[in-house]
Amino acid sequence: MSLEFFGSPLTDRLFACSPFTAAARRANVQGAWATWGDNALPEFFSSIALETAAIRNAAMLEDKSPLAKIHVHGPDAARFINRLIPRDATQIAINHAYYTPWCDDLGKVIVEGMLLRLSETDFIVTAGLMNRWLSRQRGRLDVVCEDVTDLFGILALQGPNALSILQEATGHDWSDLGFSRGRRAEFSSVPVHVWRTGFTGVKGYELWVPPEAGNNVWEALVSTPSGASIEPCGHASQDIVRVEAGMVLPAIDYARAGPDSVQAHSYGLVDDAYHASPYELNLGRFVDFSKGDFAGRSALFAESQAGGIGRRIWAMRVDWRQLVSSYLERDEMPIVNGKIRRIPPMELLSGGDVTGFATSIGWSSNLKEVIGFAHLPAHLDPHEVVFLRWDESEHPIDVPVSLSTLPFVKPSRK
């Protein structure tokens, strides 16, 4: 379970250190930390508002090293991958990254995340661990699946100034690196794999770094002339901008399907009622029925032909002024969390009945709105009056919300 705490630099005996922990300790002036698995990472460095503004308007650095990484390799690796994802893996070029869901045989999402191709027979999956699922699917194929999470540090460099910072740090032109593409580089003789991708909806890069070189790469970036615009970014700030970009998280916005679900998450959404297909998570564009058979194909095809899906996810904006007014009428202090509320979901009502639920709810200082994801029946008219049952106070408040298509902020890929 995730913990949040304040204090002096962390004791290595309590938490695992990432390649960037030393640099993060120096920069974390507020001493706010949160856990991600066995790792402790900054919750925020300065303030959530300042960091989210930097992501949209300047540049940020964020440590994403604890992200699970599975190395899938061997003569049958491409065939194996293609059988397990709804996208056509045969179209992935070397040094190309795919964002894709992974589904079980019922068409429910196990995880979603990036699939990176390093060579004809080498892939890396960056998503929740799927050890049991992958083992069961391997059969007689000549393929190996290895957890390589600790072999790389991942440093996200995101924001409008990311390109100039990267070019100054490496001395190379990166303007021709297309979206979702990767390339190798050197930072002061340190080999780094740079991927043009990210989880924020803004232009940026992810730097895959040897563990021993994390501190040097961090310093190389912040020491550039354009690096003065960098704000180190904590977990809370990134969580808000990923909601703005319409990016969902397992166990937070849907329950993981598959045999690894309970093993992988001891908290969050685990009930079958929260399982979801790609269509229900706004990921239907990644389902390709022309590619042949794949896990969940029959169920997803039947769903696509049935005239609609069970649920649909919407961008939800909460009438926070009405919410604050309701608090004041009760002589209570308004409670609007500055961070994303991850669990449990809040109820959504229409016509006086509970018709759905809302996840990842919180204040966006960039948009000046309380936002989140609304999970509602697919047949519901988005113009219908829907209320969110705000349960952050002793007596819940039903506050109106407005719905629109995702994302809140259109990703920039230029």
Task: Specify the pLDDT at position 394.
Answer: 81
Per cent of the chain over pLDDT 90 is 78
The size of the chain, in residues, is 414
Burial grade of 234 (CB within 10 A; 0-12, 13-18, 19 or more)? buried
What CATH number should be reported for the domain holding residue 76?
Answer: 3.30.70.1400
Q: Quick one: 400 and 315 in the same domain?
A: yes
Mean pLDDT over residues 202-207, rounded? 92
- Contact assessment for residue 19 and residue 190, using Cβ atoms and an 8 Å cutoff: no
- Report yes or no on 411 lying in a domain: no
Is the pLDDT at 98 greater than 50? The verdict is yes
Task: Specify the pLDDT at position 56.
Answer: 92
- Burial state string for 390-401 with b = 16 or more CB within 10 A and e = fewer than 16: beeeeeebebeb
Is the pLDDT at 80 greater than 60? The verdict is yes
Is the pLDDT at 382 greater than 90? The verdict is no
Is the pLDDT at 355 greater than 90? The verdict is yes
- Burial state string for 281-301 with b = 16 or more CB within 10 A and e = fewer than 16: bbbbebbbeebeebbbbebbe
Is the pLDDT at 178 greater than 60? The verdict is yes
Is the pLDDT at 1 greater than 50? The verdict is no
Q: How far apart are CA 101 and CA 113, in angstroms?
A: 7
Where is the domain boundary, 244, 267, 283? 244
- Report yes or no on 412 lying in a domain: no
Q: Quick one: 75 and 59 in the same domain?
A: no
Question: What single letter denotes the amino acid at residue 140?
Answer: R
In DSSP terms, 314 is beta-bridged to: 374
Q: Quick one: 182 and 128 in the same domain?
A: no
Count CB atoms within 10 A of the CB of residue 356: 22
**Range in 12-16, 154-158, 322-326 the model is least confident about:** 12-16
Q: Quick one: 284 and 358 in the same domain?
A: no
Task: Specify the pLDDT at position 306.
Answer: 80
Phi-psi map region of 201: left, alpha, beta (phi>0 left; psi -120 to 50 alpha): left
Task: Specify the pLDDT at position 307.
Answer: 66
Counted domains in the chain: 3
Alpha helix locations (H) across 64-212?
Answer: 77-84, 131-138, 162-170
Q: Quick one: 273 and 232 in the same domain?
A: no
pTM: 0.93
Task: Specify the pLDDT at position 40.
Answer: 87
- Report yes or no on 122 lying in a domain: yes
What CATH number should be reported for the domain holding residue 233?
Answer: 3.30.1360.120
* Host domain of residue 378: 311-404
Q: Which three-class secondary structure string do you get for 267-312? A: CCCCCHHHCCCCHHHCCHHHCCHHHCCCCCHHHHHHHHHCCCCCEE
Task: Specify the pLDDT at position 413.
Answer: 61
Mean pLDDT over residues 98-111, rounded? 96
Q: Quick one: 178 and 232 in the same domain?
A: yes
Q: Quick one: 143 and 160 in the same domain?
A: no
- Report yes or no on 413 lying in a domain: no
Task: Specify the pLDDT at position 8.
Answer: 53
Q: Quick one: 46 and 157 in the same domain?
A: yes
Q: Quick one: 324 and 394 in the same domain?
A: yes
Mean pLDDT over residues 52-66, rounded? 95
Residue 194: C-alpha distances to residues 31, 114, 157, 187, 238 (Å): 29, 14, 10, 11, 20
Where is the domain boundary, 226, 244, 262? 244
Q: How far apart are CA 22 and CA 134, in angstroms?
A: 35
The whole-angstrom distance between residue 68's C-alpha and the CA centroid of its chain comes to 12
Mean pLDDT over residues 6-13, rounded? 53
Question: What single letter denotes the amino acid at residue 311?
Answer: R
**Tens-digit pLDDT profile for residues 129-143:** 899 999 999 999 999
Where is the domain boundary, 193, 210, 244? 244
Task: Specify the pLDDT at position 265.
Answer: 45
**Tens-digit pLDDT profile for residues 243-295:** 999 999 999 999 999 998 764 445 689 899 999 999 999 999 999 999 999 99
Q: Quick one: 162 and 278 in the same domain?
A: no
When the pLDDT of each residue in the chain is averaged and rounded to a whole number, the result is 91
Of 186 and 288, the structure prediction assigns the larger pLDDT to: 288
- Report yes or no on 341 lying in a domain: yes
Q: Quick one: 143 and 281 in the same domain?
A: yes
- Report yes or no on 368 lying in a domain: yes
- Report yes or no on 175 lying in a domain: yes
- Report yes or no on 380 lying in a domain: yes
Task: Specify the pLDDT at position 372.
Answer: 98
Q: Quick one: 58 and 108 in the same domain?
A: no
What CATH number should be reported for the domain holding residue 375?
Answer: 2.40.30.110
